[in-house]
């Protein structure tokens, strides 16, 4: 996956130790060997079922979690074990649940201004207040609302506050961790459009994590698909929709509703059997083989490599090799 990239993840792993009960001493392999590169200025969408490791990958990529193994490169510099504060300004996150991610005891001005204070980005109180008011204005709020508390705002407004907080330190890379899933449908498009506007005006790079594949298709230039801690497919947006390679990707896309009734009836939906295996004890070989309708002995015994099947289109499947 050569090229000029802002963020590079190399065989990244994040395992969580299980304590108590029968799992004592074992590990949840939330992310288990993911290699991924994100170009400056692009939006890389990441999709997959709940529990597949999307959020853990995003948080580990910006060192909210320290990786178990592998490497994280920012502009070609290895930051895997480096002191993170010098890079924290450039690596930010927008959380899924705005009401849970905002401190209810802090005013909006304090929430947005906290990072400004930590990184010394305002020379005096007047400049700080002006910066906070400008940030709130950028996300569609009023600077005069800086003295109000999070509970006084709607869910969509709270997420705007979270976006303003992320922008306060002038980042280059933002992990958007399902930023619209907790919002009303009527508000979702407003937030997505605002994120696109912010990307253009601030030259931002996004890792956009979501369940809603239609939103990911709209906002992303490339799309990655995760299953049980592994990246199983990665491709330019249009190509992965026209020609998905991995059986799991085809299953996901077949479940997306189509507004045209005639086209919807013509589509054959792929129904998966069984549940996602435990990330504590994942299957041998291809992790999808326990649910794949095309499973062979090789799938059960040998783990497929993520390999380039066509220019820019990567997949980890023996059947496509």
Give the model's confidence band at 83: pLDDT under 50 very low, under 70 low, under 90 confident, else very high.
very high
Q: Residue 94: phi, psi to the nearest 5?
A: -110, 120
The whole-chain average pLDDT of the chain stands at 91
Question: If you average pLDDT over residues 184-213, what whole number do you get?
Answer: 93
The pLDDT of residue 258 is above 70: no
**Residue 2 confidence (pLDDT):** 44
**Residue 186 confidence (pLDDT):** 86
CA atoms of 264 and 266, how far apart (whole Å): 5
**Residue 288 confidence (pLDDT):** 95
Strands 205-209, 173-177: parallel, antiparallel or unpaired by DSSP? parallel
The pLDDT of residue 260 is above 60: no
**Residue 272 confidence (pLDDT):** 72
Out of 20-34, 58-72, 110-124, 296-310, which region has the weakest mean confidence (pLDDT)? 20-34
Locate 299 and state its tokens.
Answer: 């799938």
pTM of the model: 0.92
Domains, the chain: 5-90+171-253 (3.40.50.300)
Q: Residue 311: phi, psi to the nearest 5?
A: -50, 115
Quick one: residue 53, left, alpha or beta (phi over 0 = left, psi -120 to 50 = alpha)? left
**Residue 267 confidence (pLDDT):** 55
Neighbours of 108 (CB within 10 A): 27
Side-chain half-sphere of 268: how many Cα atoms within 13 Å? 2
The pLDDT of residue 57 is above 70: yes
**Residue 16 confidence (pLDDT):** 96
């Amino acid at each position: 996956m050569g090229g000029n990239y802002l963020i590079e993840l190399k065989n990244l792993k994040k395992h969580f130790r299980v304590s108590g009960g029968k799992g004592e001493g074992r590990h949840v392999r939330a992310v288990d060997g993911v290699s991924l590169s994100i170009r400056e200025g692009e939006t890389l969408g990441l999709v997959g079922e709940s529990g597949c490791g999307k959020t853990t990958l995003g948080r580990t990529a910006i060192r909210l979690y320290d990786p178990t193994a592998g490497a994280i490169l920012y502009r070609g510099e290895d930051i895997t074990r480096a002191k993170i504060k010098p890079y924290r300004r450039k690596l930010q996150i927008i959380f899924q649940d705005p009401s849970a991610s905002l401190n209810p005891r802090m005013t909006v001005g304090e929430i947005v201004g906290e990072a400004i204070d930590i990184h010394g980005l305002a020379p005096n109180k007047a400049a700080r207040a002006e910066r906070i008011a400008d940030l709130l204005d950028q996300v569609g709020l009023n600077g005069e609302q800086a003295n109000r508390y999070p509970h006084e705002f709607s869910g969509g407004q709270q997420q705007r506050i979270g976006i303003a907080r992320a922008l306060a330190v002038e980042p280059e890379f933002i992990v958007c961790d399902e930023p619209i899933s907790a919002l009303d449908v009527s508000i979702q498009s407003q937030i997505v459009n605002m994120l696109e506007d912010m990307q253009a005006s601030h030259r931002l790079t996004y890792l956009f994590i979501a369940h809603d594949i239609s939103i990911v298709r709209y906002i992303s230039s490339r799309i990655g698909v995760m299953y049980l801690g592994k990246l199983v497919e990665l491709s330019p947006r249009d190509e992965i929709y026209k020609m998905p390679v991995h059986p799991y990707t085809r299953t996901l896309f077949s479940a997306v509703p189509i507004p045209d009734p005639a086209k919807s009836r013509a589509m054959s939906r792929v129904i998966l059997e069984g549940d996602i295996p435990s990330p504590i004890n994942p299957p041998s070989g291809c992790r999808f083989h326990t649910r794949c309708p095309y499973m062979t002995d090789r799938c059960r015994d040998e783990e497929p490599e993520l390999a380039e099947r066509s220019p820019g289109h990567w997949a980890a499947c023996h059947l496509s090799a």
